[in-house]
Amino acid sequence: MKQGDGWKGMDMLIFNTWHWWTHTGSSHGWDFIQYGSTVVRNMDRWDAFSKGLTTWARWVELNVNTTKTKVAFQGISPTHYS
């Protein structure tokens, strides 16, 4: 992750996502997604979410001492749209 060094050594990291991955059409915030050196227009949102979550998890495994830093994933409530 570019500029990931700024997150190293924190007491707590919360990865807050999901909500924006479900938007389509004019309500989604981007058309292009970069994965490695490849830029894809209108990548399948489930595929993009999977790649993003996998990239984040790999970075945490390689860069965060989880005995000193609490790490959490926050997603969307299953009743968010109800």
* pLDDT tens digits for range 52-67: 889 889 999 999 999 9
pLDDT at 3 over 70: yes
Q: Where are the domains of the chain?
A: 11-74
| Residues 6 and 65 sit within 8 Å (Cβ to Cβ) | no
pLDDT of residue 26: 67
pLDDT of residue 46: 82
pLDDT at 15 over 70: yes
* pLDDT tens digits for range 29-39: 677 888 889 99
**48 contact partners, CB below 8 Å, separation of at least 6:** 21, 33, 35
